[in-house]
């Protein structure tokens, strides 16, 4: 049996190797010969031999391998390899090249819809990352919230779509009391899950643009944040699905849910539509499907 070293945990253990094999189907990674152990500085040696993009992929891979290890030792040990592969692919898409793009995360844990990149002429152009269709066999749940600070209220919206971008369920409603934007986001997620559970129990991929909330949902163990109780309820309900994946996206990838939340501000009752979105969102939903790729 091999000693329990960092190399074994990241490269040699069963789940680490299975994740790497699974990612090989979609990512170009160094061949197995290049990934051999070269000594105590194997990480630095390997990273020095690849370009920046490959370094990002390797670091994400090792990060997820460590998560799988911790899940086996301290958690329930049921995180699936395919789920981890999809998570890393989605996460990499959402990461911007920090050499050229400056992401500013505000106090709500959110980033701008567009980032500005200066070219050689110092002019700026907008980069928009569109909504992406879920993988085959999955449905994607996007949710968002609108917070009205002056009134201490809010609204939520959610939409579930299949691999073809077709709407399975859309829902929206008001939040009668809400102390802050983060709470509004968490309530939106909880209400969105509640809306789809009676109608869908398959593989679900949840997306939102609030980094702090997504971090809490992905964390192992109980949440210690201000929305801990809501996060606990969300995690409990998520276990009702046959499998789940949780990703952080930018605002441009969450526009339909955002518009549904705006609708929730002006309609007092909770609404759930099966197989459709309300008329005011139809064109936006169609537009997203035309520009999306499989994540």
CATH code at 226?
3.30.420.10
Whether residue 101 is predicted with pLDDT greater than 50 in this model: the reply is: no
What are the tokens at 263?
């609708």
CA-wise closest residue to 257 among 169, 177, 176, 194: 169
Instruction: Retrieve residue 11's tokens.
Output: 């490269």
* Mean of all residue pLDDT scores within the chain: 83
- Angle of CA points 256, 229, 271, to nearest 5°: 35
Q: Is the pLDDT of residue 110 over 90?
A: no
In this predicted structure, what is the pLDDT of residue 139?
Answer: 95
For 239-251, how does the pLDDT look when each residue is reduced to its tens digit (9 = 90+)?
999 999 998 888 8
The total number of structural domains in the chain stands at: 2
Kind of pairing, strands 243-248 and 271-274?
Answer: unpaired
* Amino acid 22: pLDDT: 85
d(CA 48, CA 272): 52
Question: Residue 127: inside a domain, yes or no?
Answer: no
Q: Give the integer Cα–Cα distance in Å for 38 and 131.
A: 41
Give the range of the structural domain holding residue 18, as residue numbers without chain letter: 6-94
131 lies in some domain: no
In a domain, 132, yes or no: no
Residue identified by tokens 């106090």 is 107
Residue 116 lies in a domain: no
Q: Looking at residues 62-75, what average pLDDT do you find?
A: 86
> Same domain, yes or no, for 144 and 283?
yes
- Separation of alpha carbons 216 and 109, rounded Å: 12
Confirm whether 226 is domain-assigned: yes
Q: Does the residue 103 lie in any domain?
A: no
Whether 7 shows a pLDDT value over 50: the answer reads: yes
Instruction: Give the model's pLDDT for residue 53.
Output: 84
Assess if residue 118 is contained within a domain. Answer: no
């Amino acid at each position: 049996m091999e000693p329990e070293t960092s190399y074994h945990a990241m490269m040699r253990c069963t789940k680490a190797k299975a994740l790497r094999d699974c990612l090989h189907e979609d990512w170009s990674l160094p061949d197995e010969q290049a990934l051999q152990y070269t000594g105590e500085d194997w990480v630095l040696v390997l990273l020095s031999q690849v370009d920046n993009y490959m370094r990002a992929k390797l670091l994400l891979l090792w990060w997820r391998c460590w998560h799988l290890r911790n899940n086996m030792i301290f958690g329930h040990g049921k995180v699936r390899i395919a789920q981890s592969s999809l998570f890393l692919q989605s996460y990499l898409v959402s990461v911007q090249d920090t050499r050229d793009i400056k992401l500013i995360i505000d106090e709500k844990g959110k980033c701008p819809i567009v980032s500005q990149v200066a070219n050689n002429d110092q002019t700026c152009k907008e980069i928009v990352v569109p909504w992406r269709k879920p993988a085959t066999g999955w449905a994607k749940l996007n949710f968002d919230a609108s917070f009205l600070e002056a009134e201490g209220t809010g609204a939520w919206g959610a939409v579930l779509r299949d691999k073809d971008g077709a709407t399975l369920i859309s829902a929206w409603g008001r939040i009668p009391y809400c102390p802050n934007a983060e709470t509004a986001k968490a309530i939106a997620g909880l209400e969105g899950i509640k809306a789809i559970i009676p109608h869908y129990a398959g593989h679900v991929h949840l997306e939102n643009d609030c980094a702090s909330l997504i971090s809490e949902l992905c964390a192992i163990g109980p949440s210690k944040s201000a929305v801990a109780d809501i996060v606990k309820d969300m995690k409990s309900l998520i276990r009702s699905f046959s499998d789940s994946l949780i990703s952080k996206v930018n605002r441009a990838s969450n526009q339909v849910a955002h518009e549904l939340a705006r609708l929730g501000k002006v309609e007092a009752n909770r609404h759930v539509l099966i197989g459709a979105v309300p008329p005011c969102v139809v064109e936006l939903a169609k537009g997203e499907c035309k520009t999306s790729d499989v994540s």
